[in-house]
């Protein structure tokens, strides 16, 4: 252990001496040109998103806008500023498909109770409910699967 600490200390000392020797060596100083200074002085600045003046307000508080290229955008005021999202059309999920819960859940009739099994990302979830205590969602799943055969 002492050997490891000694090696690390020597390595740190070598790095520090290399850094200080670069700054202390005498030599001709380089002059900065005006173009190099001008390039460093103007960093690009991001423009904040604003709602266009000709955007049409919607009933839900958003704004619809079609740009010159024909893309449709939806603007929303958020606590963090204005948000702009491309409008891909009604009923679109952005390329993702959603599977109804009826297809993910299997209901089995056990007399007075119904056994449910649902696939989740963490494995299969199982639960049983009395027919009189089922929620509307569970009842809908059970009835839709009983009507199939």
Within 10 angstroms of residue 76's Cβ, the number of other Cβ atoms is 15
* pLDDT band for position 145 (cuts 50, 70, 90): confident
pTM over 0.75: no
140 vs 39, more confident = 140
Alpha-carbon dihedral angle through residues 83, 88, 92, 95, given to the nearest 10 degrees: -90
Return the sign of the alpha-carbon dihedral for residues 9, 11, 15, 21.
Answer: positive
Q: What is the C-alpha separation between 120 and 99, in angstroms, rounded?
A: 12
End-to-end Cα separation, the chain, in angstroms: 73
Give the chain's radius of gyration (CA, Å): 33
Residue 66 burial (C-beta neighbours within 10 Å; 0-12, 13-18, 19+):
middle
Cβ contacts of 50 within 8 Å, gap of 6 or more: 82
Output the pLDDT for position 30. 59
Digit-coded pLDDT (tens) for 24-81? 555 555 565 656 555 666 778 888 889 999 999 999 999 999 999 999 999 999 999 9
Q: What is the pLDDT of residues 71-114, one digit of tens each?
A: 999 999 999 999 999 887 665 555 566 777 777 899 999 989 99
Which pair of structure tokens corresponds to residue 130? 């009395």
φ, ψ (nearest 5 deg) of residue 100? -60, 150
């Amino acid at each position: 252990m002492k050997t490891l600490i000694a090696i690390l200390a020597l390595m740190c000392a070598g790095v520090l001496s290399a850094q200080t020797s670069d700054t202390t060596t005498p030599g001709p100083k380089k002059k900065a040109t005006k173009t190099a200074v001008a390039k460093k002085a103007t960093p690009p600045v991001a423009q904040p998103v604003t709602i266009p003046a000709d955007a049409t307000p919607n009933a839900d508080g958003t704004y619809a806008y079609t740009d010159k290229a024909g893309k449709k955008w939806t603007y929303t005021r958020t606590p963090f500023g204005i948000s702009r999202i491309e409008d891909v059309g009604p009923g679109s999920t952005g390329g993702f498909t959603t599977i109804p819960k009826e297809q993910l859940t299997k209901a089995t009739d056990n007399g007075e109770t119904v056994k449910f099994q649902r696939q989740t990302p963490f494995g299969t979830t199982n639960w049983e409910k009395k027919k009189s205590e089922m929620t509307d969602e569970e009842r809908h799943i059970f009835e839709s699967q009983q009507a199939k055969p």
